[in-house]
Homo-oligomer: A and B are copies of this chain.
Amino acid sequence: MSEVAGRMAPQAGARCLEKEVGGRGMLLGGVPGVAAADVLILGGGVAGTNAALIALGMGAQVTVVDRYPDALRRIAAQFHNRVRTIFSAADTVETLCRRADLVIGTVLIPGAAAPKLISAETVRAMKTGAAIVDVSIDQGGCAETSRPTTHSRPTYIVDGVVHYCVANMPGAVSRTSTFALTNVTVPFVLALADKGLRALTEDTHLRAGLNVHGGHLVHPAVAAALGLAHVPAEQVLKN
């Protein structure tokens, strides 16, 4: 789903920059002679890379910030220097936010709340009519000013900055999202249908999804959350 949300983010952002919703009245790609929007993407993972792909395609000036040199290197190789890649140091995000027209937040920490990279103070320092599309809103958002919205009322404004924080972005393109999800899950379904429990023995990814088996609690995180003991999946499946 990160692919879908990442690719939707620039088009949602383009909409946020329109006058109707309180934006700067800026065309993402500009036209010859008029500057394109400065798009800042926080995070160079799957969502960030897909956001960069579409933002570039729409003609924006794109900067990706990440704290892993390898992520930046991979992005630089894929886009052949068309994207600015900047290593995330102390005040990088604040400096870049001040001059951005659109900030796309894609920073996620698996299994934890997204880090609040954009402080309320930084939002105050942004241009009037600039926009933030917070793709990480599903895990709490990466701006202090982010709060979940819906497809029917997707945006709100804080300190002149348009915020788009739809919690379930892929829902807007349900046809595409359903196929995308099915493509990824169908091999697991086929494996289960063909092999039954044996599928879990052979495939660590499937096994990692097992919660309860033979009366035993198996998933360590579930056990931890409930304060109960768990038996490793490998052991349960042997019996």
Contact = CB atoms under 8 A, between A and B. Distances in A.
Interface of A: 3-4, 7-8, 11, 14-15, 17-20, 24-36, 50, 53-54, 56-59, 61, 67-69, 72-73, 75-78, 80-82, 84-87, 89, 151-152, 171-177, 179-180, 182-184, 186-187
Given A36-B84, A69-B183, A31 B18 contact: no
A172 B19 contact: yes
Contact of A84 (B26, B35, B69, B76): B35
A31 B4 contact: yes
B172 A25 contact: yes
A36 B50 CA distance: 14
A32 B187 contact: no
Nearest to A101: B175
30 contacts: A11-B11, A11-B28, A11-B58, A18-B151, A18-B172, A18-B173, A25-B172, A26-B173, A29-B54, A29-B81, A30-B176, A31-B176, A31-B180, A32-B76, A33-B73, A33-B180, A34-B87, A35-B84, A36-B81, A36-B84, A53-B59, A54-B58, A57-B58, A61-B84, A67-B187, A69-B183, A69-B184, A82-B82, A89-B182, A89-B183
Number of copies: 6
Given A54-B29, A81-B36, A7 B176 contact: no
A186 B7 contact: no
B59 A17 contact: no
Contact of A69 (B8, B27, B33, B72): B33
Given A59-B53, A173-B27, A19 B179 contact: no
Contacts of A50: 31
A174 B19 contact: yes
A59 B81 contact: yes
A19 B175 CA distance: 9
A41 to B, nearest CB: 14
Nearest to A178: B25
Contact of A34 (B68, B75, B77, B183): B183
Contacts of A173: 17-19, 25-27
List the 5 closest pairs (A to B, CB-CB), nearest first.
A57-B57, A32-B76, A33-B87, A87-B183, A25-B174
